[in-house]
Structure 1
């Protein structure tokens, strides 16, 4: 593979560290002051230098950095729209430059299925084991990197082998979802043409994908910035700062209340609240 080294890409109002450690992605890992993503398109390493983002990649840039890190999102406009009160304004000031990421769909989906009832380090570990055991390998600058297995590769792994990885009951989810995708029961590529509500409905046809996982995939991979995923941490933030949004009802009711309150960029408000409450 031919390595490519770029001096810099303009990164407006961006904080790479905040973006990477806020808990929204399991598809990147730190390595010597850089953040690394490994996909079938190659190895990509990024690091920040002031207002610029530097990168190197093994076989040409897989996607524009402006797309991966959503540099076209006007953060000042987003901040203005979601700043409904003093609380969120204060949180934004603490974490300015955090951007919602745009991960590839398949790794994002698998990681969030794996994430159910698990802490972030454990999810990263599971993704790493899956890649090392069943994915392709890429040699780059004297290092071996492992790619998350494709649906076809995972379909060839037995349920018992997946359980040995440490997935527990999630192994059945991964196995069934992989099979559904290969059979075309859900048109993954076609999802990009659909509005948020239909994307969520289609994703929830997949085994083990409930409202929270569907919202995470819609937000962190498909660009539906109105999505408002709720987990235990976000519920804590809402209960602490916005108890009036905890209407009687389950996940769907509370998520809709938050979307109505924060508006079309509710997903950004969610991520800032999540980052703040976990810090």
Structure 2
């Protein structure tokens, strides 16, 4: 599959999805009930498993015009430099149920811990797919399943996910309605779920509802907004400033800044920035 303007590693390793693991030069993951392996070689993507080009094009948002997005969000030298360093990173288009349930568990935790919790939830309630892989459980499987949620070691999040699954399974929380709402409407509706606050709602809106203006603010983004743009204050103030500054694709700018603020990559980003300045780029 040809994938111009795409970087598999940056896309899968930027914290937006939790069921992908590096396996040598391949990436292995489960998307819903699809077991998939991907490998990139230049502008070609090798595919193994239950996924075709149509599915992957949608899931990886290969329909996004990255050049147009870059042109729109490059509103200052810093973000332009960061884009240059991480070109090809794309926001993924995840399933709203899987994404919302995953981010409900993500509250006040790190990526490694979130991956363990989701893996445990899938093993306890999801359908076995073979090779030690499990599908992401449907709301009904969590709400009505006989698995022992204590085995998942979710802590206080266990009550949240059980209540949310029951709400979705019963239709009290309507995922189809959620998909039809505009950005502000989606955020307000998501926040009616216990355990979903501003940041989690923004993550769900950005990664599964096509609201590319959403700008989740975590510790890294708060630091970037403070150190680069001099913006501090409440979540609403910082996120609102970012949406206004970066425009309708603020979520893309956020994800590039998130990568740049990764401690493992920050020195590399600084060296890149200094190099581009010396070259006059």
Check whether TM > 0.5.
yes
How far 1:190 sits from its partner (Å)?
Answer: 2.5
Partner residue of 1:31? Answer: 23
* Partner residue in 2 for 1:168: 155
Q: In the aligned structure 2, how far is the partner of 1:189 from the partner of 1:62? A: 25
Q: Distance in 1 between matches of 2:90 and 2:67?
A: 12
Deviations along 1:131-176, one digit per CA (max 9) or x if unpaired, are 112211112xxx23111221111113589x3244221111111111
Cα distance in structure 1, aligned partners of 2:52 and 2:84: 32
Distance 1:225 1:39 in 2: 21
Q: Which runs of 5+ in 1 are unaligned?
A: 1-8
1:153 aligned residue (141, 146, 152): 141
Structure-1 separation of matches of 2:126 and 2:210: 27
Question: For the Cα contact (< 8 Å) 1:225–1:264, is it kept in 2?
Answer: yes
Following the alignment from structure 2 to structure 1, what is the Cα–Cα distance between the partners of residues 20 and 210? 18
Query: What is the DSSP-based 3-state SS (H/G/I as helix, E as strand, rest coil) of the residue aligned with 1:84?
Result: coil
1:211 aligned to which of 198, 212, 218: 198
Quote the residue 2:132 is aligned against.
144
1:266 corresponds in structure 2 to 250
Q: Is the 8 A contact 2:100 2:204 kept in 1?
A: yes
Shift of 1:194: 1.8
d(CA) in 2 for partners of 1:79 and 1:62?
A: 24
> 201, 204, 221: which is aligned to 2:188?
201
Aligned position for 2:178: 191
Relative to structure 1, the CA distance from residue 26 to residue 228 in structure 2 (aligned partners, 3 Å threshold; closer, same or farther) is same
Match of 1:117 among 70, 84, 108: 108
Shift of 1:40: 4.6
Aligned length: 263
> Who is 1:53 aligned against?
45
| Residue in 1 that maps onto 2:277 | none
2:85 match: 94
